[in-house]
Chains A and B, each alone.
Chain A
Amino acid sequence: DVKVTQSSRYLVKRTGEKVFLECVQDMDHENMFWYRQDPGLGLRLIYFSYDVKMKEKGDIPEGYSVSREKKERFSLILESASTNQTSMYLCASSFGVRGEQYFGPGTRLTVT
């Protein structure tokens, strides 16, 4: 079974803090994704990585950066958290460009 794990299920941070969200997959997938999910807006792509050290911006990259130093790990970084970044963050991985995406359980981030 493919497993995608995320470092925290719930996280509370203060405005201005630097926040790291980590995602690890165990199936040797090339592609990894970070989404944020907000009610009524569905899943919006923040960043996408198709290989180690390679990344592409998604629809809403502003205020976020990513790091992929190892194939299995994809990190999402909020350089200076703001209240409008309070959301559910979902990581996913896939094999092949159009492969089935496997999602992690999500991290509910609250920025106060």
Chain B
Amino acid sequence: QQPVQSPQAVILREGEDAVINCSSSKALYSVHWYRQKHGEAPVFLMILLKGGEQKGHDKISASFNEKKQQSSLYLTASQLSYSGTYFCGTEKGDNYGQNFVFGPGTRLSVLP
């Protein structure tokens, strides 16, 4: 039931782009993205709802393909501050508490 994230880890140089994918075997109502820096609490990035458009947050944007049951997070011109673990959280739409599940995370390292 946990969504699958790929890649598990990625290493970038500052200024490079990255894509993190999140896919589910179940139909989804929403996808949430969070970033957790080492030793800190996860922080919300954005939520994408079924039927909604692509969202953006500074140079970080995301898309949600309902038919494919997957979402992608795009990090453009990455900065050192982007380093951390990115989690997607997926919701099937009914009985939220039992159906909101985080993925295992993608560790992103941005090097100077």
Contact = CB atoms under 8 A, between A and B. Distances in A.
A108 to B, nearest CB: 11
Interface residues of B, number: 25
Given A59-B1, A106-B41, A42 B87 contact: yes
Contact of B104 (A40, A56, A101, A102): A40
Contacts of B100: 45, 48
Given A56-B97, A57-B98, A43 B42 contact: yes
Contacts of B97: 45, 48, 50, 56-58
Contacts of B47: 98, 100
Contacts of A43: 42, 87, 89, 102
Interface residues on A, range: 20 to 34
Interface of B: 1-2, 30, 32, 34, 40-44, 47, 49, 87, 89, 91, 95-98, 100-105
